[in-house]
Amino acid sequence: MAEFEPILLANIAKPDSHTRRVYESTGGYAALRKVLGGQTPNDVKETVKASGLRGRGGAGFPTGLKWTFLPKDHPGPIYFCLNADESEPGTFNNRYLMELDPHQVIEGLILSCFATSASTAYFYMRYEYPLAWKRVQQAVDECYEAGYLGKNILGSGYSLDIFLHRGAAAYICGEETGLIESIEGRRAWPRIKPPFPAVEGLFRKPTVVNNVETVACVRHIMDRGADWFKSMGVPPDPKNPRDAGSYGPKLYCLSGHVNKPGCYEAPLGLTVNQLIDQYGGGMRGGKKPKAAIPGGISMGLLKASEFDCPLDFNGPGKYACLGLGTAAVVVMDETVSMVDFLHNSCQFFAHESCGQCTPCREGTAWSLRLMKRILAGKGRLKDLDLLLEIGDTIGIMPGTTICGLADGAAWPIKNAIRKFRGDFEDHIKRTNPEGWMRTDPVPALDLVEIH
């Protein structure tokens, strides 16, 4: 890989990197001054659109295009919701930005609000980030003091208020309409779409929802230009008309059985092998790799033989995964039991399902019950087929649920069993030698104690 200079993480090692003083000493808020000094919201929107920036929160939708969905000449108000409900297992890149360089995020947020003509922004942060909460609130207060927020920012005539809103530890609040419902004070049940938030969102007004890392990229795009941003990453696949390209830098979370877990910045498109070897210091203890989650648990699994997978928006899909997601890579070595992995995954999604959609509510619950039965030594080979049937029939993609949580729950099931079926069959035959071949109905084990 060519030499790469970090951009999003450039300041995090500096003392007091979270303060306005340090941020401004490195050129902070210069982009805001430049934009408010003579550019229009449409100028910013078109620049971001030209850059090819895609949302970093999981879906990878083109950011500039998303902004164009707002109604033309709407009298307002227009709201902007910043999604900092970072609850995807293995993901912590937003936490780095909020704790160590919050002003970068705030400047990107102000620029994004200006581009979308939003007059109020809600910074929605997960409850479990107390230091990030403190640092971001301090950064917001410093911005009001400096005239970067409030009425008539820098004499431009543009006004913006930012309010922090703390979530209540629910994974479903990362879904944009669930987040909106939560801000409005209701249970975070995702809304049926259409209408989409750009037309009818927060308080039934036009609303944009973007991720923390996404708006941080906006700051640098407006400072350095769209061509600079497109000089990094991977261009669209000419054989795939749906591929919008994977441009710019990306924050990769690396955890699991590697020597140097952490948050690393690289251009989109490096492979899992490169991330492990060049950034993670190789496999811990010299053990062999077995599998990796490519972008958060909801994206599914890669086998070790698939570690040449490029970590861009198009790459993981070629290996039967859901997508890049949050680019949170969790590496598992040869000692890991895929049965234990899938049990933990099913337990997480059964707990986090909001329960609104029957296929997700029942599908995640029954997946967990089946995994409990397998772990309890009463599993059957037929249970694997039942799990695959659940995985193949719940989610937005089969058209059975309102939001994508069920798809996220299904992909680890489908990947784990189809890519590591031998592990599951061996476990079932070894722990249930008398009953592994049964096909008749057997009782569910709701109260099995798993050790």
115-160: pLDDT as tens digits: 999 999 999 999 999 999 999 999 999 999 999 999 999 999 999 9
Residue range 2-44, pLDDT digits in tens: 578 999 999 999 999 999 999 999 999 999 999 999 999 999 9
**The pLDDT of residue 448 is above 90:** no
Collapsing DSSP to helix, strand or coil, 250 comes out as strand
For residues 95 and 326, the answer to whether their CB atoms sit within 8 Å is: no
Closest CA to 315 of 252, 251, 267, 246: 246
Residue range 47-80, pLDDT digits in tens: 999 999 999 988 889 999 999 999 998 988 999 9
* pLDDT mean over 162-171: 93
pLDDT of 2: 56
The overall average pLDDT reported for the chain is 94
Cβ of 316: how many Cβ atoms within 10 Å?
25
Residue tagged 């890989």 (tokens)? 1
Residue 2 CA to its chain's centroid (Å): 26
pLDDT of 308: 97
**The pLDDT of residue 242 is above 90:** no
pLDDT of 440: 86
Residue range 259-284, pLDDT digits in tens: 999 999 999 999 999 999 999 999 99
Q: By mean pLDDT, which of 167-171, 372-376, 380-384 is the weakest? A: 167-171
For residues 229 and 219, the answer to whether their CB atoms sit within 8 Å is: no
d(CA 139, CA 142): 5
Confidence of residue 194 (pLDDT cuts 50, 70, 90): very high
Considering the chain, what percentage of its residues have pLDDT values greater than 90? 91
* pLDDT mean over 430-451: 75
Closest CA to 329 of 410, 234, 256, 246: 256
Considering the chain, what percentage of its residues have pLDDT values greater than 70? 98
* pLDDT mean over 191-196: 94
* pLDDT mean over 393-413: 94
Which domains does the chain possess? 20-231 (3.40.50.11540), 246-333 (3.10.20.600), 338-431 (1.20.1440.230)
**The pLDDT of residue 171 is above 80:** yes
**pTM recorded for the entire structure:** 0.93
Cβ of 358: how many Cβ atoms within 10 Å?
11
**The pLDDT of residue 240 is above 90:** no
For residues 383 and 301, the answer to whether their CB atoms sit within 8 Å is: no
pLDDT of 444: 65
pLDDT of 3: 76
User: What residues pair up with 211 in beta bridges, in sequence order?
Assistant: 83
**The pLDDT of residue 46 is above 70:** yes
pLDDT of 451: 40
* pLDDT mean over 173-187: 95
Residue range 312-328, pLDDT digits in tens: 999 999 999 999 999 99
| Burial class for 38, CB neighbours closer than 10 Å (0-12, 13-18, 19+) | exposed
